Structure 1
Amino acid sequence: MTLRLRFHLHYWPILTAVWISLAFIICYLVAIFDQHVHPLFPYISDTGALPPESCIFGQMLNIAACLMFITMYIRFRTVQLLEHVGFSKNYKFWNKFSNIFGFFSCLGISLVANFQETSEITVHFIGAFLAFAVGAVYCIIQAYLTWLSFSSKRLKLIRILLSLLLIPLYITTTVCSALSFKEFNENAFKWKHTDKGYTLHLFATFTEWIMAVLMILYMATFYVEFRSVKFGGLTFVLEDDK
């Protein structure tokens, strides 16, 4: 007796994008309901810093890191298929290189989930750097690989545009956040428009949310290539007792 399991690969990027979006939305709503943060553009990490939303934040982002890693690995294997149709050795190198960046980006998401800013802020910031900055480099390399591939011109331009926006958004978030906290001395979870550094704070949080949305959209674009690739499936065979 043989049991064969098959998976539609193009569902993975959509599932990943939807799951991460739900994680951010649910934690944001719970944090607002509990009055832990100000409703106008809090930091993403602030919406998962205090219980009970911190528990939801940690669990959902851990799952998100796993889903994203699976999506990135499928992308890695999908690009490998093009290595056998006449692409240069550089294509193979950049594919492997991007997979390493993808792994560390997923690790960063897990660190952000498990080391909240209220408990271990240094590890939390390292995780945020891996998730956003290293993740942005992953997107840039993938945009380059897409440009060399047989993908449509529209998809190539979309990935190039999204990836090129990530770096300046990350820099803006980091710089504005650092400058705003130099002027701020109140409750870090509840910024008010009368607080010093409030404008810089809004720039930082707004660009962080935009950056997160763009990365989610980027992951979702893998749906296009995954539709043309089929997974052979896992096969389980029940052997008769002898």
Structure 2
Amino acid sequence: MVNMWWCRPLVLLSPILSMFTAAGLWVVYFIALHHGKVLPLTSAYRKGNLSAYPPFISFTGNFPPASCYFSEILNLAAFAAFVVGILRYFQLKTKLDKRWLNIFSVVCFSIACFGMTIVGNFQLLEMSVIHNLGTFLAFILGNLYCWLQTYITWKVNLNNQGKVVAIGRLVLSAAISLCIILKHVLAVIPHMHTVRCQWAVVMLFLIYISTFAIDFRHCRFEVVCRDTVERQSQCEDANGSREQQLEL
């Protein structure tokens, strides 16, 4: 007996991932703001303020109870994003001439997802080195993945729609890179725009991930569950038919 699950709803996985992750991060921000742990995003940067931190995403998720939600949100988001990356890999497996590019792309994204779990589970003020390593993996390799997928989207050109989608992804990739650069440039002089750039990077990246729904609607994913006994019997039947052909 063969059970086949038609995974058409997986088309909605990437936009649902983006919406729920974005909503979850903003909930964490408002919880931290409510408890007085961070400053409002609309306020001016106050370096000497010891009672509240600037609302970097890592600071919003550093203190309980917000840290509990922050860890859970990033863990679930990393897992769902990893699934999206794997689906994208299989979609391109037979369509891209440069197979190494597809493999390199999914490896980069997998490490970026792992970096997300590090950010979620190792708080900045307690384990800053490990936390910053996770941030580096998530942001830098995540941005690299965006650029790679932009090129792949243009190259593959699914149903002659890929080039239009690639232009949109090019704009998003460039915006993410620009915000990352601005964040590090503005970090020299503490400013609230540095915080806003970080939030912009995350929101733009989530928008980018949601665009994979455009590609997934051109593909049907199937999960096949086959009984071991039946598979063995099919192999024996196949071997028996081959032996009969040889005897004839």
Same fold? TM cut 0.5 = yes
SS in structure 1 at match of 2:116: helix
> What secondary structure does 1:119 align onto?
coil
- Which AA in structure 2 matches 1:5? W
Matched letter for residue 148 of structure 1: K
Amino acid at match of 1:73: I
Q: Does 1:95 align with 2:108?
A: no
1:91-119 CA-partner distances (Å, limit 9, x unpaired) = 31211111111011101100100111121
**2:122 is equivalent to residue 115 of structure 1:** yes
Identity of aligned residues (%): 28
After superposition, the Cα gap between the structure-2 partners of 1:93 and 1:3, relative to the gap in structure 1 and judged at 3 Å, is closer
- Partner of 2:237 in structure 1? none
Instruction: Between 114-123 and 148-157, report the one with greater CA deviation.
Output: 148-157
Which string of whole-angstrom CA distances, capped at 9 and with x for unpartnered residues, describes residues 23-71 of structure 1? 2111012111212111116211111010000010001100110000000
Separation in 2, partners of 1:125, 1:106: 14
5+ long unaligned stretches in structure 2: 43-54, 230-248
For residues 64 and 175 of structure 2, what CA distance do their matches in structure 1 show? Answer: 33
Q: Which residue does 1:67 correspond to in 2?
A: 80
Q: How far apart, in 2, do the equivalents of 1:174 and 1:122 lie?
A: 17
What amino acid sits opposite 2:115 in the alignment? Answer: G
Query: Using the alignment, how far apart are the partners of 2:118 and 2:139 within structure 1?
Result: 12
In the other structure, the counterpart of 2:209 is 219
The reply on whether 1:210 has 2:211 as its aligned counterpart is no
Counterparts of 2:73 and 2:173, CA distance in 1: 25
TM-score where L is the length of structure 2: 0.80
Per-residue deviation, 1:4:
4.0
- What residue in structure 1 maps to residue 94 of structure 2? 81
Which of these two proteins has the greater Rg computed from alpha carbons?
A: 2
Aligned residues: 214
- Quick one: distance in 1 between partners of 2:180 and 2:207? 16
Shift of 1:6: 3.3
Which sections of structure 1, spanning at least 5 residues, go unmatched? 181-196
SS at match of 2:222: coil
After TM superposition, the runs of 4+ consecutive aligned structure 1 residues lying more than 6 A away are none
Aligned to 1:5: 5
Describe the shift of the 1:51–1:157 C-alpha distance in structure 2 as closer, same or farther (beyond 3 A).
same
Mapping 1:165-204, distance limit 5 Å: 165-177=175-187, 179-180=188-189, 197=190, 201-204=191-194
Instruction: State yes or no: 1:155 paired with 2:165.
Output: yes
RMSD after superposition:
1.9
